[in-house]
C-alpha cells in the first residue's frame, strides 16, 4: 500500500514518460464543509483516466468531461472555484455551503514532478513552490510543521512523510500495522534486534533497524509528529522503548498487551523514574475496542486510536479497550445477579 500523494506523483511521471499530457489538480482552499482537505491532489490524463481525489466524485467527473471534450490545451496553471452558489454546490456534490478552490496545472518538464517523486520515494519532506504565471516549480527541503500556502500567484505544497511511526517488533501484527500506516502517510521504522524476525521483513516503504529500542528512540529525536507502538510482548524490548518514548513530545505512545500485563508494565516503568504525568500518556492496552481478534483487525484497532490522537480527538472510555471490557464484565455480572 502507498500514500495517495505518492500514487498521484508516480502515475503522473509514468503517464508523462508514455507521451501523455497530464493535468495536476490541487485543493488550495475550502470554505464551509468540504469532502477533501487542502493539499489533496488529483491527476487527470489526456484521455480522462484519473488517480487521486479532490471531492466526493462530482468535481472529478466535471474535470474528466472537460478533458475528454477539449483535451489539455492550457499551457499555464490556473485557479478555479467550485460550489460558489447553492446550485453549484448541489451540482458538484459539495455539502451545503461548501466551496472549494483548485489549481489546475498542466505538467511540463518545468513542473519537476519526476524529481519530486524521487525525493518523496526516498523519504524526504519537500516543499514545492509553483509560479502560476510561468508554470515553473522549485523544490526545497521542508519542515514537518510547514503547510500549504496560496496567494493567487504562488502555490506552496508540502510532500512526503510528515508523520513518523516507530514500531517495536517485526512480528506478524507489525506487518499489517506497517502496511496500513504507510498508506496513512507515515514514515515507518521497524525496530527489532532479533535477527529471526527482521531477516524476512519485506514490507515496502518501511525501514528496519536492528538496534536496541531505547537507543533507537533517542536516535530518532521524536517530536510532536511521532508515534511509538510497542508490539513484542517482551518487556526487555518494549519497556526499553517506552521508558524513553514517554519522555518525548511524541503524540502517541502505546503498547500491546492484556489489562493485567498493562498494569504490570506501568509498575515496572515506575522504576525508571517516570513521572505520573509521563505514565499517564501511555496507551495500553493499545487500540480501540472493536472486538478484534486477528492481526489485521488488531492493526485497524490500533491505527484507529493513533488517528484519533493525531487529530486531537479524545475517545470516550467505552471505546478504549480497558474501559469497554470492564463495562462488558460489569454488565455480565449484573445480568447474572438478576437471574439469582
The number of folded domains in the chain is 2
- The arithmetic mean of pLDDT across residues 20-28, rounded, is 96
Beta carbons of 35 and 94 less than 8 angstroms apart: yes
**Cell numbers standing for residue 103:** 489549481
Q: Is 32 left (phi over 0), alpha (psi -120 to 50) or beta?
A: left
Of 33 and 238, the one with more pLDDT: 238
Percent of the chain with pLDDT over 70: 86
Q: How confident is the model at residue 1 (pLDDT cuts 50, 70, 90)?
A: very low
pLDDT score recorded for residue 329: 64
Q: Is 226 part of a structural domain of the chain?
A: yes
Average model confidence (pLDDT) across the chain: 88
- The rounded Cα 189 to chain-centroid distance in angstroms is 14
pLDDT score recorded for residue 134: 96
Q: How confident is the model at residue 38 (pLDDT cuts 50, 70, 90)?
A: confident
| pLDDT surpasses 80 at 209 | yes
| pLDDT surpasses 50 at 2 | no
From 159, 182, 213, give the residue that closes a domain: 159
Q: How confident is the model at residue 35 (pLDDT cuts 50, 70, 90)?
A: low
Q: How confident is the model at residue 237 (pLDDT cuts 50, 70, 90)?
A: very high
Same domain, 206 and 155: no
Opening angle at CA 100, ends 98 and 106, nearest 5: 160
Q: Is 89 part of a structural domain of the chain?
A: yes
pLDDT score recorded for residue 30: 86
Q: Is 233 part of a structural domain of the chain?
A: yes
| 12: CB partners within 8 A, 6+ apart | 22, 24, 43, 107, 113, 117
Q: Is 337 part of a structural domain of the chain?
A: no
Of 224 and 145, the one with more pLDDT: 224
Domain residues for 52?
A: 4-159
- The arithmetic mean of pLDDT across residues 254-282, rounded, is 90
Same domain, 230 and 82: no
pLDDT score recorded for residue 97: 53
pLDDT score recorded for residue 146: 84
**Beta sheet of 78-82, edge-to-edge order:** 50-52, 41-45, 22-31, 99-106, 78-82
Q: Is 196 part of a structural domain of the chain?
A: yes
Q: What pTM was estimated for this model as a whole?
A: 0.67
Same domain, 172 and 88: no
Amino acid at each position: 500500500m502507498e500514500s495517495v500523494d505518492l500514487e498521484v506523483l508516480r502515475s503522473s511521471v509514468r503517464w508523462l514518460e508514455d507521451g501523455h499530457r497530464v493535468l495536476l489538480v490541487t485543493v488550495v482552499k475550502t470554505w464551509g464543509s468540504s469532502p477533501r482537505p487542502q493539499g489533496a491532489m488529483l491527476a487527470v490524463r489526456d484521455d480522462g483516466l484519473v488517480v487521486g481525489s479532490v471531492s466526493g466524485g462530482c468535481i472529478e467527473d466535471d474535470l474528466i468531461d472537460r478533458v475528454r471534450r477539449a483535451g489539455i490545451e492550457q499551457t499555464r496553471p490556473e485557479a478555479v472555484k467550485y460550489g460558489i452558489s447553492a446550485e453549484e454546490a448541489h451540482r458538484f456534490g459539495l455539502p451545503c455551503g461548501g466551496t472549494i478552490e483548485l489549481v489546475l496545472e498542466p505538467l511540463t518538464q518545468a513542473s519537476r514532478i519526476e524529481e519530486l517523486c524521487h525525493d518523496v520515494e526516498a523519504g524526504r519532506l519537500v516543499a514545492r513552490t509553483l509560479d502560476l504565471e510561468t508554470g515553473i516549480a522549485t523544490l526545497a527541503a521542508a519542515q514537518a510543521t510547514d503547510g500549504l500556502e496560496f496567494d493567487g500567484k504562488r502555490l506552496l505544497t508540502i510532500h512526503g512523510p510528515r508523520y513518523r511511526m516507530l514500531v517495536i517488533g517485526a512480528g506478524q501484527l507489525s506487518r499489517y500495522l506497517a502496511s496500513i500506516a504507510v498508506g496513512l502517510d507515515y514514515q515507518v521504522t521497524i525496530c527489532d534486534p532479533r535477527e529471526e524476525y527482521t531477516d524476512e521483513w519485506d514490507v515496502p516503504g518501511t525501514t528496519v533497524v536492528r538496534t536496541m529500542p531505547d537507543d533507537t528512540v533517542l536516535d530518532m529525536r521524536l517530536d510532536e509528529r511521532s508515534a511509538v507502538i510497542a508490539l513484542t510482548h517482551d518487556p526487555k524490548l518494549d519497556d526499553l522503548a517506552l521508558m524513553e518514548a514517554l519522555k518525548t513530545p511524541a503524540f502517541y505512545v502505546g503498547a500491546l498487551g492484556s489489562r493485567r500485563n498493562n498494569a504490570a508494565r506501568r509498575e515496572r516503568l515506575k522504576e525508571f523514574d517516570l513521572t505520573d504525568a509521563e505514565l499517564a500518556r501511555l496507551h495500553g492496552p493499545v487500540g480501540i475496542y472493536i472486538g478484534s481478534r486477528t492481526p489485521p483487525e488488531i492493526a485497524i484497532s490500533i491505527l484507529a486510536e493513533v488517528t484519533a490522537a493525531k487529530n486531537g480527538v479524545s475517545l470516550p472510555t467505552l471505546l478504549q479497550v480497558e474501559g469497554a471490557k470492564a463495562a462488558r464484565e460489569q454488565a455480565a455480572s449484573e445480568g447474572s445477579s438478576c437471574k439469582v
